[in-house]
Amino acid sequence: MNKRALLAATLAVLVGGGCALTSKGEVASIRYFSPSHPSANRAPRQGARAELQLGQVSSASYLDERIAYRLSSAEVGFYDDRRWTELPEAYLRRALERELFEEQGLQRIVTGGGPTLDVELTAFEELRGKPSKARVTLRFSLHDERRSLLERSIDVEREVTAKIGADEAAQLADTLSTTLGDAVVSVARQVSAELEAAKLAERAPAAP
């Protein structure tokens, strides 16, 4: 090999190596989603309204900005490139406030005693399978200063409908949003019914 050919080969190796050393791997593009459940815009109930204080709204410790999926009853994973814009419990609180005080027409207690509702979001995830489903689980407790009035769990699942050409990640976020809204409506209706029953019991005349 003559000197000119050797020099050309050496330069090719150096340039190729330099490109390999200086090039960066592709950074995963993170997408952010914000669930929104459309308001039903129902007319609030007329007459005297039951009172309620919205207390603690929390979520399971593993629920954060990452969108979660469940592979089995014991295994949960997270999408690296899919995030919520806020913690899921923030979405839950706003949905509860809208449904309880705007749609159901309950009167909010700001300070002092009275019936208090505490809600915990224990599942907000995709159930992987065929078909894939969105799952939301809420545990709630309605209580006053000395006793529990109602304690229940709500578990709602909705199939993530696959549409040709549709954005899979956006579909999952939309279905989780709708599922959260359904669960919140169920909680609000049960709480409203319990408060109305308590009001009627207070008004009933005492037995002679």
Rounded to an integer, what distance in angstroms lies between the CA atom of residue 49 and that of residue 36? 27
Give residue 126's pLDDT. 97
Residue 206 has pLDDT above 90, yes or no: no
Query: Are residues 176 and 124 in contact, defined by beta-carbon separation less than 8 angstroms?
Result: yes
Residue 7 has pLDDT above 50, yes or no: no
Domain presence at residue 24: no
pLDDT, tens only, 120-178: 999 999 999 989 999 999 999 999 988 999 999 999 999 998 776 678 999 999 999 99
The pLDDT-based confidence of 32 (bands split at 50, 70, 90) is: very high
Domain presence at residue 99: yes
CATH of the domain at 65: 3.40.50.10610
Domain presence at residue 134: yes
Domain presence at residue 5: no
Give residue 48's pLDDT. 60
Range in 26-35, 74-83, 164-173, 198-207 with the lowest mean pLDDT = 198-207
Give residue 22's pLDDT. 42
Rounded to an integer, what distance in angstroms lies between the CA atom of residue 93 and that of residue 91? 6
% of residues, the chain, pLDDT over 90: 64
Give residue 15's pLDDT. 44
Domain presence at residue 64: yes
Residue 18 has pLDDT above 80, yes or no: no
Residue 19 has pLDDT above 90, yes or no: no
Polymer length of the chain:
208
3-state secondary structure 58-120: EECCCCCCEEEEECCCCCEEEEEEEEECCCHHHHHHHHHHHHHHHHCCCEECCCCCCCEEEEE
Domain that holds residue 65: 42-202
Domain presence at residue 35: no
Domain presence at residue 6: no
Total of domains in the chain? 1
